[in-house]
Amino acid sequence: MMSPIMVITPSLPFAATTSPSGDIVVFYVGTEPRMTPEQALAFADVLRDLAAGARRPVLAGASAGAHRMS
C-alpha cells in the first residue's frame, strides 16, 4: 500500500508519495504542468521531506504547510 499523498495547495499541479519499496512517486494533478517559482520551492520541500522519510523506518508526519490526503 502506498503512503498518503502529500499536497501543499490545491493549485499545485503535482503531488508526491512514497511507494512500498521507498521510491518517491510524483503525480501530475493540475490543469497546467507549470509551477511558479514559489510553488517549485514548496514542492521541492515536499520531495526533500519524502526523501528524508524514506531513509527513516517511520515518517514522523507531514511537513509544515502540507497535509495528507487519504
- Nearest 5°: the CA angle 36, 51, 24 is 75
Q: Is 70 exceeded by the pLDDT of residue 59?
A: no
Report the predicted TM-score, pTM, of the whole model to 2 decimal places: 0.56
Domain ranges across the chain: 5-58
- Nearest 5°: the CA angle 39, 41, 51 is 115
* Cell (9 digits) for 44: 521541492
* pLDDT tens digits for range 9-51: 556 788 888 888 889 999 888 888 888 898 889 899 989 998 8
